[in-house]
Amino acid sequence: MMESLLYPCVTATRMKLSLDGMWKFSFDRDKKGEEKHWEKGLSEYEMMPVPGSFADLYTDKKKKNYCGDFWYETDFFIPGAPEGEGKEKRTLLRFGSVTHRAAVYVNGQKIGEHEGGFLPFVFDITEYICPGVNRLSVKANNELNEECLPCGTVKKNKDGSLTAKPYFDFFNYSGIQRSVELLFVPETSIEDYSYVTELSKGEAKVDLEVKLRIKEASEDVNVSVELIDEAGKIAADEKLCNADRKSLLQCKSKAEAFLCEGDGDSASGCSEYVASVLLENPILWKVRDAHLYDIIIRVTDKSGKLLDEYRDRIGLRTVEVKDKDILVNGEPVYLKGYGKHEDFSILGRTFNYSVARRDFECMKWNGANCFRTSHYPYADEWYRMADEEGFLIIDEVPAVGMMRSTHNFVDAGTGKYTYFFETPTVLKLKKNHLQQVGEMIARDKNHPSVIAFSLFNEPETTSEYAYEYFSEIFEAARKLDPQNRPLTGALEKNSSPEKCRCYPLLDFICLNRYYGWYISGGEDFEEAEGKFRDELDRWKALETDKPFVMTEFGTDTLSGNHSLPGTMWSEEYQNDYYEMNFRVLDDYDFIRGELVWNFADFATSEGIFRVGGNKKGIFTRDRQPKSSAFILKKRWEEI
């Protein structure tokens, strides 16, 4: 059974234990691991770091590019509880991510499966463990197909091995790529919470909702919330008593309130509690000027005994799209920053605090305020750091590769049509897509840094089949987010203003365009500006009355490669390219953001179009600036 996706924390009632370290690991080329009962123990194995992306740890090419089933195993110790103690806790097992699918076993028993390689999943393993040593086994698989996200296919080689063939332009890093933790939570526990901020002159109304998992349906509990400001002071000194069911409590205190019980299905053991809290003179979360409140949610029984406590940090801000503007706290904001990847040498897609810190420092240095989690949800810690730094995030589900092409970056703009949404796999794909949208919003809905959800990147959008598909995705997403953030998606060149059927679904329109690189690059560079302006003129003629954001534009550039005049792959050419693109963007008032591609060089599949990966980074893969970083710094510090 899937459990809460709340970020793990340690409180008076909650504990967590990291299972990170060196695990046993084995490839399962013949897919006979279950037949051989590997879930009960690996007889042959090597040691592998968890978290980690296994590809870049090998010197053997077959292992680096391995595609198929693979297994992990580790043991963990559960101390025996003293007589009469410890029976009120549940033990949860949380994976930050396993790419792209996993079956999980505890002590040889299968406890569940998960599809999707970029979001956490949690199982209740209380009934599967015992005091002493316990065994955890994971069968993972990194194959690509057209029924799951991201999309691609596999090639079967003569020796029977498989090779991944992505429909996307980044390396198919795989493994248990984020932390694994044991969580110890009370039987009556906080399952989820959400909040919505409304601003008026000098005040902020915060609507809170807390979902509880109740041990017994008849259990009578109180729920309270504290908001604590940056000075460590409780932002209010009043408490409110429980109100009648289904009522919404209006409170003039600044932050501390008992929540009144709202709609809940008592028979299922779940209840929801809601309240509204009015804060006078709130300290708002602003772009690059972050101010956060600590939120402490407590559950007590009628005698006042603490049953559960959860702590987090929230920011009070609003986001909306109005006419041609993206508004944060009612003020227009111009997005300036990057498309990124979770990508670093040796680490692959493994989260690392030092890499993340360096990335934020580089972005702050050249005046950025935003990034897109291209092309998948990142590790939880990226969002928590962005909350602290005041960065804006366009949060993207891994709906990439929805064009049947292993060179989609070339085919975009050629008019190629692959009938992607007209195949029998679409029904399963849509189910998977909806699941991952739901998990992304459930996990990330409380982050003030997240200002929009991106529900696709560069799919085919020129048919009624595509419109029907994405209409259902967008309709579902609008029901899931309590904060009703804007929804968007990134359109490639084939999605022209005359042919694209899906842009009306977007609250703001994101364009990925490469005029001067894939289109009219090199000797034809002088034509690029005219073609770019012509397309933007055609978008303008549609009078969409929506803001546009350039979410990808850039050139492959080898650091240290210089030429005069600038030729393709040189730093001078990258500089000329950005100066031309900025000149165009500045002439169109509906352009409300520019996220260049890419923040840093990153790994891709091998190919004649890629020299050691994608080199469109403004920074090298080890986070050193190319010449264009200084052009962006000058521009963004002036905007």
pLDDT in tens, 82-105: 544 555 799 999 999 999 999 999
CA-CA distances (angstroms) from residue 229 to 77, 206, 233, 283, 315? Answer: 39, 14, 6, 8, 10
How far is it, in rounded angstroms, from Cα 323 to Cα 428?
36
CB 164, CB 142: distance < 8 Å: yes
Query: Domain segments of the chain: what residues?
Result: 15-186, 189-314, 331-638
pLDDT for 246 beyond 70:
no
More confident residue, 602 or 246: 602
What Å distances lie between residue 452 and 326, 371, 392, 484, 617, CA to CA?
10, 11, 9, 9, 24
pLDDT for the residue 256: 46
Q: Is the pLDDT of residue 478 over 80?
A: yes
pLDDT band at 26 (very low <50, low <70, confident <90, very high): very high
Q: At a CB cut-off of 8 Å and minimum separation 6, what does 76 contact?
A: 17, 19, 133, 134, 136, 182
Share of the chain above pLDDT 70, in %: 93
- Is residue 552 part of the annotated active site? The answer reads yes
Per residue in 144-177, pLDDT tens? 999 999 999 999 999 999 999 999 999 999 999 9
3-state helix, strand and coil shares in percent for the chain, rounded to the nearest 5: 20, 35, 45
Quote the pLDDT of residue 87.
Answer: 58
Query: Which position among 272, 458, 460, 492 bears the catalytic label?
Result: 458
pLDDT recorded at residue 413:
75
Instruction: Please say whether the beta carbons of 437 and 476 come within 8 A.
Output: yes
User: What CA–CA distance (Å, rounded) separates 606 from 614?
Assistant: 10
Per-residue model confidence as pLDDT tens digits over 348-394:
999 999 999 999 999 999 999 999 999 999 999 999 999 999 999 99
Confidence of residue 522 (pLDDT cuts 50, 70, 90): very high
Considering the four listed CATH numbers 3.40.50.1360, 3.40.50.720, 3.20.20.80, 3.40.50.300, the one that applies to the domain covering 331-638 is 3.20.20.80
In this model, does residue 405 exceed pLDDT 90?
A: no
> Catalytic residue among 309, 439, 552, 594, which?
552
Q: Are 384 and 490 in contact (CB under 8 A)?
A: no
Question: Are the folds of 15-186 and 331-638 the same?
Answer: no
Q: Could you say which of 3.40.50.740, 1.10.10.10, 3.30.2000.10, 2.60.40.10 is the CATH number of the domain covering 189-314?
A: 2.60.40.10
**Fold observed for domain 15-186:** Jelly Rolls (2.60.120)
